[in-house]
Amino acid sequence: MNYPIITIAIILLTTGFSLYCMNNPALKFKYIFHPYSIYHYKQHYRFLSHAFIHADYMHLLFNMYALWMFGDILERAALPVLFEGNLVKAKLFYLLLYTGAIYAASITEYFRYRRVESYTSLGASGAVNAVIFSSILMIPLGGIRMFLIPFDMPAWAFGIIFLGISYYLAKRQREGRGLGDNVGHEAHFWGAIFGFVLTGLMKPELFVEFFRSIFHWS
> For 181-215, what is each residue's pLDDT tens digit?
556 788 999 999 999 999 999 999 999 999 998 88
Q: What is the mean pLDDT of residues 112-135?
A: 95
pLDDT at 149: 65
> For 152-183, what is each residue's pLDDT tens digit?
889 999 999 999 998 888 888 777 765 445 56
pLDDT at 72: 95
Q: Determine the straight-line distance between the first and last CA of the chain, rounded to whole angstroms.
A: 37
Q: Cα(6)–Cα(35) distance, rounded to whole angstroms?
A: 28
Model confidence at 75, in pLDDT bands (50, 70, 90)?
Answer: very high
> For 28-68, what is each residue's pLDDT tens digit?
999 999 999 999 999 999 999 999 999 999 999 999 999 99
pTM of the model: 0.93
Q: Cα(44)–Cα(118) distance, rounded to whole angstroms?
A: 17
In one-letter notation, the amino acid at residue 136 is I
Q: Exposure pattern of 41-66 as b/e (b: 16+ CB <10 Å)?
A: eebeebbebbbbbbbeeebbeebbeb
Tell me the three state secondary structure of residue 12: helix
> For 79-117, what is each residue's pLDDT tens digit?
999 999 999 999 999 999 999 999 999 999 999 999 999
Q: Which helix (H) or strand (E) holds 144?
A: strand 143-144
- Write the DSSP symbol of residue 4: -
- Point out which residues pair with 143 in neighbouring strands: 154
Q: Taking the CA atoms of 67, 70, 76 and 80 in sequence, report the sign of the dihedral they define.
A: negative
pLDDT at 215: 83
Per-residue pLDDT at 24 exceeds 90: yes
